[in-house]
Each structure stands twice: as structure tokens, then as C-alpha cells.
Structure 1
Amino acid sequence: MRVFTALLLIVFSLLQYRLWFGKNSVPDYLALQDEVIRQQLANEKLKQRNKLLYADTDDLKLGTEAVEERARNELGMIKENETFFRLIPNKENLNKNRTTQELL
């Protein structure tokens, strides 16, 4: 009976070793859980970005306003018979605004 008990203890010890330190052990499982959570967060961010891109492409396909907005903002284009004014602030006014914002 003692031999059988010793054999069971050895088998139990080996199984415990595999459980805690072997391949696919508990620490590996916990690390994979963290990685899955991290990947799910990254996927959610990418889904949000894709939604924005789909909305942007639909807007470009269907409407002319988006094309006009992009032409104005990214390319600096203006319509015919339209006057473009660029207002450049004085350095003094810019410094006053900065100090006022810093005080707030």
C-alpha cells in the first residue's frame, strides 16, 4: 500500500508541476487572457476608425459638400469670384491671449 501511495504522490507532484510551470500552464493562461483583452481593445479602436472611414467615403460618394470641404481645407482651393481673406494676429495680441489663458 505504501508503494501505491508513493506512486500516487509522485504522479500528483508531476501533474502539479505541469499545471504551474509546464507548457500551457496557469501563468501562460493568464498572460493569454491579458493579451486577448488588449487585442479586443485594439479591435474596438479599429472598428471605430473603420466606421469613420466608411462614413467619410459614403459622404464623398453621395455629396459634393465633402469634396468641396476637402478641396478648401487640404488644397486651399476657392470658388470662382470668391475672395479669400487670411487674418494673421499680431504678436502682441497673441502674447496677451496666451497670458490671459495662463491666468485662467
Structure 2
Amino acid sequence: MKLFIAGLLVLLTLLQYRLWWGVNGLHEYFSLLDQIHNQQQDNQKLVERNQVLKEEIANLQTGTEALEERARNELGLVKEGETFYRVVRGKK
């Protein structure tokens, strides 16, 4: 009988080891859950960024204000009759 109980304890120990640290065990399961959570956060950020870019594209395609603003900020363009002033801060 003692041999039978010892055998069951060994079997239980081996099964517990496989459950916690073995292939497809709980350790790997929780690790995968964490990876899934991180990937879902990254995907949500990309969805939000794509939405902003889609809105910007639509705005550039339909309106002239966004195109003009972008040309002024990025290319330094001025309209006819306007005077461009650049304010340069001195070193402290």
C-alpha cells in the first residue's frame, strides 16, 4: 500500500510539473495572454493612427485650408502681398 501511495505521489508530482512548466503549461499560457494583451494595445494605437491619417488625407483631398496650412508650415510659403517675419531668439 505504501508503494502504491508513493507511486501516486510521484505521478501527481510529474503531472503538476507538466501543468505548470511543461509544454503548453500554465506558465506558457499566461505568457501568451500577456503577449496577446500587448498586441491588442499596439493594434488599437495603430487603428487610431490610421484614423487620424485617413481624416488628414480626406481633408487634404477636399479642402484647400489644410493644404494651404501645410504649405505654410512645412514649406514656408507666403501669399502674395504678405510679409514674412521670422523671430529669432537670442542665446541666453
Query: What range describes the TM-score normalised by the shorter chain of this pair?
Result: 0.7 to 0.9
Partner of 2:75: 75
* Contiguous gaps of at least 5 residues in structure 2: none
Distance in 2 (alpha carbons) for counterparts of 1:3 and 1:75: 86
Higher relative contact order (CA 8 A, sep 6+): 2
Gaps of 5+ in 1: 96-104
Look up the match of 1:26. Answer: 26
Q: Deviations over 1:56-89 (max 9, x none)?
A: 0010011001110110000111112221112234
Which amino acid in structure 1 is aligned with residue 73 of structure 2? N
TM-score scaled to structure 1, two decimals?
A: 0.72
1:60 is paired with a residue of what secondary structure? Answer: helix
Distance (Å, rounded) in 2 between the aligned partners of 1:81 and 1:17: 80
- Deviation track 1:19-39 (CA, whole Å, cap 9, x = no partner) reads 112101111111111111111
| Counterpart in the other structure of 2:43 | 43
Instruction: Look up the equivalent residue of 2:34 and give its one-letter code.
Output: D
* Separation in 1, partners of 2:35, 2:89: 50
> Could you tell me which residue of structure 2 aligns to residue 60 of structure 1?
60
Q: Which amino acid aligns with 2:35?
A: E
- C-alpha deviation, 1:14, in angstroms: 3.2
Task: With the length of structure 2 as denominator, give the TM-score of the two structures.
Answer: 0.80
Q: Could you tell me the percent identity over the aligned residues?
A: 50
